[in-house]
Amino acid sequence: MANNLGQKIKRLRQDHNLTLKELSSKTDLSTGFLSQLERGLTTVAVDALERIAKALGVDITYFFAFPWKLHGEITRSYEKQLIQYDQGSHFINYLLSGNLEGKQLFPRIVELLPGGKKRKDVNFYSHQGEEFIYVLEGILTLILRDGHHELFPGDSAHFSSEIPHNWVNNTTRKVVLLVVNCPNPFEKTLEQK
């Protein structure tokens, strides 16, 4: 995914006749980082990708590829597809819907591996819509603008995604979450296909 993302950024940057240095000044990201990102040698946080999208005049959803097949209304356990593995942030995302086209909800299982960022190093992000989280396994630290909340298996959170937020796994074990976003952040991208 990182390689595909980098190619899209490079193509857009070149279409806008921007140098890496010019994109760097528009995004406050270093030219070295942007160069590595374009070559697929590093990953990018959501907030940095939003700045790149804004500088290049596209919605952030433009950068997400859809390698998975659409099944229909029923998705069997063996059909759930890996949609993102970001080793740098220790996240693994699995799509739980076989067909997102025309759907408002974006359901997925998220695994947060141990060894991610510490609370003090976490960047907040926000986006349109609302978010529902249900902890299946492990202890999740949910960081909302009003503080840190430890969520245990069976606990849930439902909040406006416009509230600055993030998640952290501060344990030595995997944390598994059911996450549902509304609206589906990929709906625009699917409609363009």
The answer to whether residue 116 is domain-embedded is yes
Q: Is 25 helix (H, G, I), strand (E, B) or coil?
A: helix
pLDDT 10s digits, 94-145: 888 877 777 888 898 998 888 766 656 677 778 888 999 999 999 999 998 8
Residue among 29, 37, 33, 31 nearest 11 (CA): 37
- Asked if residue 185 and residue 95 are part of one domain, the reply reads yes
Global pTM value: 0.62
Question: Residue 61: its pLDDT value, please?
Answer: 63
Q: Is 190 helix (H, G, I), strand (E, B) or coil?
A: helix
The answer to whether residue 99 is domain-embedded is yes
Which residues is 166 bridged to in the sheet?
A: 143
Q: CATH number of the domain at 18, please.
A: 1.10.260.40
C-alpha radius of gyration, the chain, whole number? 17
pLDDT 10s digits, 150-174: 999 999 999 998 898 888 888 999 9
Residue 97: which domain range? 77-192
- Asked if residue 125 and residue 38 are part of one domain, the reply reads no
The number of folded domains in the chain is: 2
Q: CATH number of the domain at 148, please.
A: 2.60.120.10
Task: Say which DSSP state 67 is in.
Answer: -
The answer to whether residue 68 is domain-embedded is no
pLDDT 10s digits, 9-46: 998 899 889 999 999 999 999 999 899 888 888 777 76
- Asked if residue 57 and residue 82 are part of one domain, the reply reads no
Higher pLDDT, 61 or 138: 138
Single-letter code of the amino acid located at 150: E
Which residues is 132 bridged to in the sheet?
A: 158, 180
Higher pLDDT, 191 or 49: 49
The answer to whether residue 71 is domain-embedded is no
Please say whether the beta carbons of 162 and 142 come within 8 A: no
104 CB neighbour count, 10 Å cutoff: 11
